[in-house]
């Protein structure tokens, strides 16, 4: 049952559902929840069929309005876009199932409809950003993503949330404007907006305008780095991700930040091309920022006592890993970065969802108060432990596989000193994650006797957390499922247009 | 590079756009009133629109509206103008959203000056 | 505002502003303007009415229920017009091959689906701006 219109069907289904939510007359209840989950389920099935179709046949490009590619907007449907869309929809489905019960504690019931409208628009814009092959279309989807991702934080009207969302909005707006400046500079030189067409033009005119292209790349990478929270532009991330409602934190940390990194990858490799990126010297320069991100993110996480802030700083460090893989400018580095995108999405979502369950049941966010909670909520702490083991890099988890691939890529690119940085950062990860598990399972506290209970949280929350953890384990034990698709997609991604 | 006056006069659009961009960035970073920060972002966006539209200009061409009676002429590039319409709508949405958050901040804190809000927050954290 | 002058002049000038807004929307493919600008001009007339007469009469002019239905209807109409391209075998949002009448160059009923889509965009922008204005005014009181 293959159909080339699947990208459009997925996008339009999500958009139509998102705009009809405000018309619902009955108050928020069971019927709406079932309807929402089934709509997402249909979109998930279509994404799965899309991935199978691309794997069996060939990647294709879908032009809107049947205009030829240089004139109209084009969606490039290749293996990696289909895989990322499937991962986005899988995680969104699980997080929304989690949020059906969790949100009643966090926001008022009159805003539930608005929250789900925003979440559907967020998923819509992320899938659009992944598929698109046109620069200005990328900007439009990025703006929708920027506004909705601030809105799902600000919908919880506490004082901290308002200031955090204001900071995020301001920095996001500066980032968007900077990206638009970069797009204007590239349009000035080449006169095209389609990414593949720009690639051909740039390889022809690069010798004439080196300063212009360098300035354009600088603007665009800076703009996307502000939104992807690379050190030193990461200041908004801890406040925003820790004060948001738990499903929003999981969506933001797991999916939204990755969409921006994927756009940096598209610009460095599909628009400008790998050879020019290396010649200009941007690739080496970015390695410095990636290393700083990895180290400083972990160092700051050591001093945090609130559990969600610790997870948010850990996100900064993990995004440094992905950025390191991108900045190496080799096929192995890029494959390792994409694999870590997938595995970190699952691990960080598992961590945030289980931390949210702990806060749901006990209301305590400080790490010192979690002694003995492993016996009160065994399933939750097991999910948390799986996420932690993946973050540290214990063999058998997906985090270990991504560190392995990244280490191989670092050695292959001729930077053996970065291997020490990788090991040091894993050690720091262990320093601030392991005490939580140790005190949860092995220490006693006066209020909690050491007997096993069943978790006191609703069934939907348990099921979704366990499924996310199972997904992370599956990717860890059978990494070739994901890695094969990535390795099939990478050579066309990097080598397109320059005659490699 | 020879900085004679004709270079500056020919490229005055681009130079003006860059100067506005830097003025906008300075306003966002240094002023403490939240509404002035939003005005700074609007100035930055306006400078980008100016930059974009002046890319499409062709010397000695007419506005890109087809009149079937007269023959073929040289037209100004209409594509940047269409893109800027979308950009203006995006700028309006961001401004509207930021202003609504500021209304809520004013309800919660009683002030919209960033220094005073930081003082109130540090007092609250110490309690 | 309780000024008599403002109220009288608003009542006289309101239809002209709305007519100008509709003109800009319909001639979107022939002259500068289109959906966004025409919708904004049309919305400015209702905002002027609210400013001159107060929040309650303004909300009676364009109640919240009507504007939310116009918003949703605008987007769904756009998407259904786009699906007409898929129904005839081409891609999404196809113009000429999907059978929309092209007409002759320079007349109002030409260029296939562009005037149809422009009207949907104009309606949606108008209802969005009015909803934003009314919501912000409600928060104050």
As for how many domains chain A has, the answer is 1
Q: Would residue A499 count as lying in a domain?
A: no
The topology (CATH level 3) of B5-126 is: Helix Hairpins (1.10.287)
Average pLDDT value over all residues in chain A: 85
- State how far the Cα of A225 lies from the Cα of C140, in Å rounded to an integer: 37
- State how far the Cα of A485 lies from the Cα of C38, in Å rounded to an integer: 47
Q: B99: which chain C residues are within 8 Å (Cβ-Cβ)?
A: 136
Tokens of A268: 């460095």
Residue range B17-34: average pLDDT? 92
Please tell me which of the candidates C76, C83, C92 has its beta carbon nearest to residue A64.
C92
Residue range A255-271: average pLDDT? 87
Residue range A449-464: average pLDDT? 72
Task: State in Å, rounded, how far the first CA of chain A is from the last one.
Answer: 35
Asked if A211 is an interface residue toward chain B (Cβ–Cβ < 8 A), one would say: no
Tokens of A100: 């059906």
What burial class does residue A470 get, using C-beta atoms within 10 Å of its C-beta: 0-12 exposed, 13-18 middle, 19+ buried? middle
Q: A197: which chain B residues are within 8 Å (Cβ-Cβ)?
A: none
Q: Would residue A61 count as lying in a domain?
A: yes
Taking an 8 Å cut-off on Cβ atoms, the answer to whether A176 and B86 are in contact is: no
**Mind listing the pLDDT tens digit for each residue in B62-111?**
877 777 776 677 888 888 888 898 899 999 999 999 999 998 899 888 88
pLDDT at A411 over 80: yes
| Block residue for tokens 């049952």 | A1
According to the model, what pLDDT value does residue A499 have?
A: 33
* Disruptive mutation site among C28, C133, C136, C141 for chain B (greatest number of B CBs within 10 Å): C136
- Read off the pLDDT band of A495 (50, 70, 90): low
pLDDT at A497 over 70: no
Residues of chain C whose beta carbon is less than 8 angstroms from a beta carbon of chain B are 30-32, 34, 36-37, 105-106, 125, 132, 135-136, 139-140
According to the per-residue pLDDT averaged within each range, which of A324-333, A448-457, B43-52 is highest? B43-52
According to the model, what pLDDT value does residue A149 have?
A: 93
State the DSSP string of A275-312. HHHHHHTHHHHHHHHHHHHHHHHHHHHHT--BHHHHHH
Taking an 8 Å cut-off on Cβ atoms, the answer to whether A140 and B86 are in contact is: yes
Give the residue among B30, B24, B79 at the shortest CA–CA distance from B47.
B24
Tokens of C99: 């059978």
According to the model, what pLDDT value does residue A498 have?
A: 36
Asked if A161 is an interface residue toward chain B (Cβ–Cβ < 8 A), one would say: no
**Mind listing the pLDDT tens digit for each residue in A108-124?**
888 888 899 999 999 99
According to the model, what pLDDT value does residue B19 have?
A: 93
CB pairs under 8 A between A and B: 71
According to the model, what pLDDT value does residue C46 have?
A: 92
* Paired strand residues for A306: A366
> Closest-CA residue in chain A for B18?
A181
**Mind listing the pLDDT tens digit for each residue in C52-111?**
888 888 888 888 888 889 989 999 999 988 888 888 777 788 777 777 777 777 777 777
> Closest-CA residue in chain C for A18?
C72
pLDDT at A372 over 80: no
Q: A193: which chain B residues are within 8 Å (Cβ-Cβ)?
A: 79
- Read off the pLDDT band of A277 (50, 70, 90): confident
* Disruptive mutation site among B35, B64, B92, B107 for chain C (greatest number of C CBs within 10 Å): B92
Taking an 8 Å cut-off on Cβ atoms, the answer to whether A20 and C72 are in contact is: yes
Q: Would residue A1 count as lying in a domain?
A: no
According to the model, what pLDDT value does residue A60 have?
A: 85
Residue B106 distance to chain C (closest CA, Å) = 11
Taking an 8 Å cut-off on Cβ atoms, the answer to whether A5 and C68 are in contact is: no
Residue range A250-270: average pLDDT? 88
**Mind listing the pLDDT tens digit for each residue in A172-189?**
999 999 999 999 999 988
* Disruptive mutation site among B79, B93, B94 for chain A (greatest number of A CBs within 10 Å): B94
C133 cis-preceded (ω within 30 degrees of 0): no
**Mind listing the pLDDT tens digit for each residue in A31-61?**
888 899 999 999 999 999 988 888 888 888 8
Please tell me which of the candidates B79, B83, B97 has its beta carbon nearest to residue A169.
B97
Asked if A142 is an interface residue toward chain B (Cβ–Cβ < 8 A), one would say: no
* Paired strand residues for A98: none
Taking an 8 Å cut-off on Cβ atoms, the answer to whether C76 and A65 are in contact is: no
Q: C34: which chain B residues are within 8 Å (Cβ-Cβ)?
A: 85
Taking an 8 Å cut-off on Cβ atoms, the answer to whether C91 and A64 are in contact is: yes
Q: Which helix (H) or strand (E) holds A77?
A: strand A74-77
Higher pLDDT, A369 or A193: A193
Tokens of A280: 């200009």
Average pLDDT value over all residues in chain C: 86
**Mind listing the pLDDT tens digit for each residue in A67-76?**
887 788 888 8
Taking an 8 Å cut-off on Cβ atoms, the answer to whether A181 and B48 are in contact is: yes
Residue A3 distance to chain C (closest CA, Å) = 11
Of A359-368, A478-487, B95-104, C112-121, the one with minimum mean pLDDT is A359-368
Residue B12 distance to chain A (closest CA, Å) = 16
Taking an 8 Å cut-off on Cβ atoms, the answer to whether B55 and A154 are in contact is: no
Percent of chain A whose pLDDT exceeds 70:
96
- Read off the pLDDT band of A105 (50, 70, 90): confident
Please tell me which of the candidates B63, B67, B89 has its beta carbon nearest to residue C36.
B89
**Domain around C41:** 4-140
Angle at B55 between CA B51 and CA B56, to 5 degrees: 130
Please tell me which of the candidates B68, B89, B99 has its beta carbon nearest to residue C106.
B68
Q: Which helix (H) or strand (E) holds A62?
A: strand A60-63
**Mind listing the pLDDT tens digit for each residue in A291-314?**
988 888 888 888 888 888 888 999
ipTM of the complex: 0.92
Residue range A491-500: average pLDDT? 53
Please tell me which of the candidates A147, A159, A174 has its beta carbon nearest to residue B108.
A159
Residues in chain A: 500
* Disruptive mutation site among C93, C95, C96, C135 for chain A (greatest number of A CBs within 10 Å): C93
Residue range A14-26: average pLDDT? 88
Asked if A16 is an interface residue toward chain C (Cβ–Cβ < 8 A), one would say: yes
Percent of chain A whose pLDDT exceeds 90:
21
pTM: 0.93
Tokens of A168: 């995020």
| Block residue for tokens 């876009």 | A81
Return the sign of the alpha-carbon dihedral for residues B30, B34, B40, B41.
positive
pLDDT at C1 over 70: no
Task: Give me the residue spans of the domains in chain B.
Answer: 5-126
According to the model, what pLDDT value does residue A494 have?
A: 67
As for how many domains chain C has, the answer is 1
Q: Would residue A434 count as lying in a domain?
A: yes
Q: Which of residues 19-38 of B touch A (CB under 8 A)?
A: 21, 25, 28, 34, 37
Percent of chain B whose pLDDT exceeds 90:
39
According to the model, what pLDDT value does residue A138 have?
A: 92
| Block residue for tokens 């559907």 | A120
According to the model, what pLDDT value does residue A500 have?
A: 31
């Amino acid at each position: 049952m293959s159909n080339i219109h699947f990208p459009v069907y997925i996008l339009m289904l999500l958009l139509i559902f998102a705009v009809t939510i405000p018309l619902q007359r009955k108050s928020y209840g069971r019927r709406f929840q079932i309807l929402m989950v089934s709509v997402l389920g249909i979109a998930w099935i279509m994404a799965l069929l899309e991935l199978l179709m691309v794997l069996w046949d060939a990647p294709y490009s879908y032009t809107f309005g049947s205009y030829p590619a240089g004139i109209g907007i084009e969606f490039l449907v290749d293996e990696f876009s289909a895989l990322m869309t499937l991962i986005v929809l899988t995680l969104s489905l699980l997080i929304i199932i989690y949020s059906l019960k969790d949100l009643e504690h966090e926001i008022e019931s009159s805003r539930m409809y608005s929250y789900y409208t925003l979440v559907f628009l967020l998923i819509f814009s992320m899938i659009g950003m992944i598929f698109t092959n046109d620069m200005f279309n990328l900007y439009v989807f990025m703006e929708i993503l920027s506004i909705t991702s601030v809105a799902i934080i600000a919908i919880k009207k506490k004082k901290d949330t308002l200031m955090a969302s204001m900071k995020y909005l301001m920095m996001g707006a500066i980032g968007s404007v900077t990206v638009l400046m970069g797009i204007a500079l590239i349009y000035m030189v080449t006169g095209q907006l389609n990414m593949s067409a720009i690639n051909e033009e740039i390889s022809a005119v690069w010798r004439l305008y080196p300063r212009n292209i360098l300035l354009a790349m600088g603007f665009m990478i800076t703009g996307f780095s502000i939104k992807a929270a690379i050190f030193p532009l990461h200041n908004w991330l801890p406040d925003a991700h820790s004060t948001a409602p738990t499903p929003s934190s999981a969506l933001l940390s797991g999916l939204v930040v990755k969409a921006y990194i994927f756009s940096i990858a598209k610009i460095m490799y599909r628009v400008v091309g790998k050879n020019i990126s290396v010649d200009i010297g941007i690739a080496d320069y970015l390695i410095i920022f990636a290393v700083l991100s990895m180290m400083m993110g972990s160092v700051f996480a050591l001093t945090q006592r609130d559990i969600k802030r610790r997870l948010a700083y850990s996100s900064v460090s993990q995004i440094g890993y992905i950025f390191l893989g991108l900045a190496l400018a080799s096929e192995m580095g890029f494959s390792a970065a994409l694999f870590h995108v997938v595995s970190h999405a699952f691990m960080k979502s598992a961590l945030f969802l289980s931390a949210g369950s702990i806060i749901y049941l006990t209301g305590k966010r400080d790490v010192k108060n979690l002694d003995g909670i492993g016996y009160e909520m065994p399933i939750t702490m097991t999910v948390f432990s799986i996420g932690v083991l993946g973050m540290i890099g214990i063999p058998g988890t997906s985090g270990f596989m991504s560190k392995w691939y990244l280490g191989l890529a670092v050695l292959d690119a001729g930077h053996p000193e970065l291997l020490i940085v990788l090991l040091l950062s894993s050690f720091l990860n262990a320093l601030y994650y392991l005490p939580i598990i140790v005190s949860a399972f092995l220490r006693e506290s006066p209020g909690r006797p050491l007997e096993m209970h069943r978790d006191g949280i609703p069934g939907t929350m348990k099921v979704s957390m366990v499924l996310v953890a199972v997904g992370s384990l599956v990717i860890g034990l059978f990494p070739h499922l994901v890695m094969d698709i990535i390795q099939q997609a990478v050579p066309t991604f990097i080598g397109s247009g320059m005659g490699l | 590079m020879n900085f004679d006056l004709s270079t500056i006069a020919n490229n005055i659009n681009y130079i003006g756009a860059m100067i506005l961009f830097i003025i906008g960035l300075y306003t966002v970073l240094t002023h403490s009133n939240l509404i002035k920060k939003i005005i700074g972002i609007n100035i930055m966006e306006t400078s980008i629109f100016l930059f974009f539209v002046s890319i499409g200009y062709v010397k000695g061409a007419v506005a890109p509206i087809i009149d079937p009676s007269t023959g073929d002429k040289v037209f100004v590039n209409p594509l940047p103008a269409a893109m800027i319409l979308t950009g203006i709508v995006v700028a309006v949405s961001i401004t509207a959203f930021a202003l609504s958050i500021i209304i809520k901040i004013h309800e919660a804190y009683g002030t919209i000056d960033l220094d005073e809000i930081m003082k109130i927050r540090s007092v609250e954290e110490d309690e | 505002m309780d000024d008599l002058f403002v109220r009288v002049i608003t009542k006289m000038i309101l239809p002209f502003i709305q007519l100008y807004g509709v003109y800009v929307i319909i001639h979107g493919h022939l002259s500068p303007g289109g959906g966004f600008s025409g919708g904004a001009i049309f919305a400015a007339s209702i905002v002027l009415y609210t400013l001159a007469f107060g929040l309650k009469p303004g909300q009676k002019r364009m109640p919240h229920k009507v504007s939310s239905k116009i918003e949703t209807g605008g987007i769904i109409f756009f998407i259904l017009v786009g699906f007409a391209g898929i129904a005839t075998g081409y891609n999404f949002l196809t113009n000429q091959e999907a059978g929309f009448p092209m007409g002759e160059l320079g007349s109002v009923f030409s260029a296939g689906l562009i005037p149809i889509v422009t009207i949907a965009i104009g309606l949606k922008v108008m209802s969005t701006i009015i909803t934003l204005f009314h919501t912000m005014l409600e928060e104050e009181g």
